[in-house]
A and B are shown apart, each in its own frame.
Chain A
Amino acid sequence: MSYDPVIAQAEIIRTHTMAVLVDNEAGVLARVIGLFSGRGYNIESLTVAEVDAQEHTSRITIVTSGTAQVIEQIKAQLDRLVPVHRVVDLTVETEPLERELALIKVKGAGDKRMEALRIADSFRARVVDTTLNSFVFELTGSPSKINAYIELMRPLGLIDVSRTGVAAISRGPEAL
């Protein structure tokens, strides 16, 4: 087959962040996750929480990746789930605001302990638990910032990480 630039373009895999507004009812998360596993789509991160207690709606933020065609399918497939109110691909023109919270435990003494503190300071990570030979840091930021921080902590005695996954919102005055 000859080289087709249109097809080649379509084959590029990109990461997209989607916001999905759903009824907060039993099984809704299982439906979303089952859709991804059943159809072979990627989930890089998934977060969920109720955002409107009166309306009982939750917002699911999914970071996924795929070709343009796969991303379009994911959106359409999510949209046809009965309890889904709205699906918005936040990664359309501009990158959305994305934040993640991480709790990071580092164990060590002496120079390494001091170095960890110094780096924490420059990342604006907070110390939320201290013992004589350990710290728990709390850090918020983009996933890449958290990745970078974790990499720096690794040689300094990193022993445990807990991350929330991405919460995202679009820039500018528009709502979902």
Chain B
Amino acid sequence: MNGEKMTGAEIVLKALQDQGVEVIFGYPGGAVLPIYDEIFRQENRIKHVLVRHEQGAAHAAEGYARSTGKPGVVLVTSGPGATNAVTGMTDALMDSIPMVVLTGQVPTKLIGSDAFQEADTVGITRSCTKHNYLVKDVNNLARVLHEAFYVATKGRPGPVLVDIPKDVQFALGTYTGPANVAHRSYKPRVKGDLERIKEAADLIGAAKKPLFYTGGGVINSGPVASQLLREFVRATGFPITSTLMGLGAYPADDPQWLGMLGMHGAWEANHAMHDCDVMICVGARFDDRVTGRLDAFAPNSKKIHIDIDPSSINKNVRVDIPIIGDVAHVLEDLIRVWKSRAARPDKPALAKWWEQIAAWRARNCFAYNNSKELIKPQHAIERLYALTKDRDVYITTEVGQHQMWAAQFYRFQAPNRWMTSGGLGTMGYGLPAALGVQIAHPDALVIDIAGEASVQMTMQEMSTAVQYDLPIKIFILNNEYMGMVRQWQELLHGGRYSHSYSESLPDFVKLAEAYGAVGIRATKPDELDDAIKEMISVKRPVLFDCRVDKTENCFPMIPSGEAHNNMILADLGAQTVSAAGKALV
């Protein structure tokens, strides 16, 4: 109720409730005790999930957010609580994930005195949040909290932090509801400029070798955007590729789908990108993993770029027709304009383009030599896909080769089913993200496709999974190496495997048991299917130790600093990489 007097802690809970928050991921400490006390008193209203490390809380909130489209909420204490959450906030910023982080702070009078567990949280997080606030007056608290949700979810989504000193949590203040909050300066544009949309429709109509290049922005825009994208792509008959972040927006089983593009993307997708004459970029940001060498990036193309964030436009690549707006809004207009216009792509030219694409496809770029003795990681994902595809399934990943194999071999048919750390590449993301997904979708099958190195960074969250009966499946492609690092050392540093061996690994099966979870191991290809089936049927958290070939590399690969038509394939063997390329990441 507006105008009601309550304590800061009560205001926090009330605001969360009014924002429709169902779950908070958090960890208590001195500076948030009043809020925890309030949670205790209202336990039946908002669910609190106690993680084992604040980084886990942030990634869990990301998983929750990405799989639902709703903002994830995190509550942590001052000082180390806040600094531990920094990685998760940076991750959410890079991948445009809506998140609200509440941190406790030392009492206002002690700020600046190096008080116990004091950190300059707004200072530290200024560059890893979309926006942040320090609330010194309890009467601003409700407004700031509602504003935080507004900023986190509107425009290009991102993490927003609200730092709340302990005395403010105790103080009595006035509550205001969400309806009374209008932002003074932040009003992102969602409708695209109609003139530009008409120009885009004309350019699309004149294309001979067109390509849709779509990204995470389609997912951010919501399920309607994916629907409209499918409609438009089918209406045009054009090929479509996507970034890592956009997987699932367009179904992988559709004949117009070319697979992911970029550093570990499909041969056909990258070649089509290089040769296209009209590129229709929808909610993607021309990341360096995608563009490769900039001066050789799609050199003969005209580019249309739909993006809600003007700073994404012309940042890395100059485009011809920028359209600032939300994907769903712009596509809706674009489809309408397209339908009303006469210009249609030249059919014979398009047929020739598809012929060329068929030739690239025939190269069968993801082929690998399967084995009867060793489980090939690619084979493991193929089997995992075959055995889970008919279920209500969500996939998260850690970072490394396994992540890329997951992107290449798991076929996503729907949006919001794929959670991965793309921009920051945070090892340790997948396990806690799976927790967040499972909380949001209790009956779904949630699988973290993991690497044995990554998963050890946030392994302690298995304890959270057990506590809350979250039956997440951690499917570890255990190659006993930081495989992605090893691959680069093999290709770029003469095979000198400096500190990339996963020494002294725990016995993952015993580790699972120690946590009160279930451990499963597969070491031979002929055990794999049964083991995966067992994993699926177990209704408890599982650590699956899938022992795979230790030397397998992930191909295709565009070495850093190379052009799209200069890819390395598995059967071409190692190529040399230029000195300039070596210096890149």
Contact = CB atoms under 8 A, between A and B. Distances in A.
Interface in B292-320: 295, 309-311, 313-315, 318
A84 interface: yes
B310 A76 contact: yes
Contact of A80 (B123, B126, B310, B314): B310
A27 interface: yes
A72 interface: yes
Contacts of A77: 311
A73 B151 contact: no
Nearest to A22: B185
A79 B478 CA distance: 46
A30 B134 CA distance: 14
Interface string B161-200: 0000000000000000000000011100000000000000
A82 B130 contact: yes
Interface string A1-34: 1000001000000000000001100110011001
A72 B184 contact: no
A148 to B, nearest CB: 37
B185 A23 contact: yes
A80 B185 contact: no
Interface in A120-142: none
A160 B211 CA distance: 62
Contacts of B126: 27, 30-31, 34
B371 interface: no
Contacts of A34: 126-127
Contacts of B186: 82
A147 interface: no
Given A30-B123, A34-B126, A80 B318 contact: no
A69 B318 contact: yes
Interface string A59-88: 000000000010011001101111111000
Contact of B314 (A26, A72, A81): A72
A7 B299 CA distance: 13
B307 to A, nearest CB: 11
B424 to A, nearest CB: 15
B224 interface: no
B131 interface: yes
Interface string B93-130: 00000000000000000000000000000110011001
A83 B313 CA distance: 21
Interface residues of A, number: 22
Nearest to A74: B311
A69 B319 CA distance: 12
Nearest to A85: B185
A83 B134 CA distance: 14
A80 B127 contact: no
Contacts of A155: none
Interface size class of B (residues with CB under 8 A): 20 to 34
Given A31-B126, A83-B185, A69 B309 contact: no
A83 B186 CA distance: 7
A110 interface: no
Given A1-B295, A72-B314, A80-B309, A23 B184 contact: yes
Nearest to A21: B185
B122 A27 contact: yes
Interface string B437-459: 00000000000000000000000
Contacts of A38: 127
A82 B311 contact: no
A69 B315 CA distance: 7
Interface in A34-56: 34, 38
A26 B111 CA distance: 14
A4 to B, nearest CB: 9
Interface in B15-35: none
A79 B311 CA distance: 8
B131 A82 contact: yes
A27 B122 CA distance: 9
Given A82-B131, A83-B185, A73 B123 contact: no
Given A1-B295, A26-B134, A30-B123, A82 B310 contact: no
Nearest to A78: B311
B315 A73 contact: yes
Contacts of A31: 126
A76 B122 CA distance: 23
Contacts of B185: 22-23, 82-85
A83 B185 CA distance: 6
Interface of A: 1, 7, 22-23, 26-27, 30-31, 34, 38, 69, 72-73, 76-77, 79-85
Given A79-B311, A80-B155, 20 more contacts: A22-B185, A26-B134, A27-B122, A30-B123, A30-B126, A31-B126, A34-B126, A34-B127, A69-B314, A76-B311, A76-B315, A80-B156, A80-B310, A81-B131, A82-B130, A82-B131, A82-B185, A83-B185, A84-B185, A85-B185
21 contacts: A1-B295, A27-B126, A30-B123, A30-B126, A31-B126, A34-B126, A34-B127, A69-B314, A69-B318, A72-B314, A76-B309, A76-B315, A77-B311, A79-B310, A79-B311, A80-B155, A80-B310, A81-B131, A82-B131, A82-B186, A85-B184
- 7 smallest A-B Cβ distances: which pairs? A76-B311, A82-B131, A76-B310, A85-B185, A82-B186, A77-B311, A38-B127
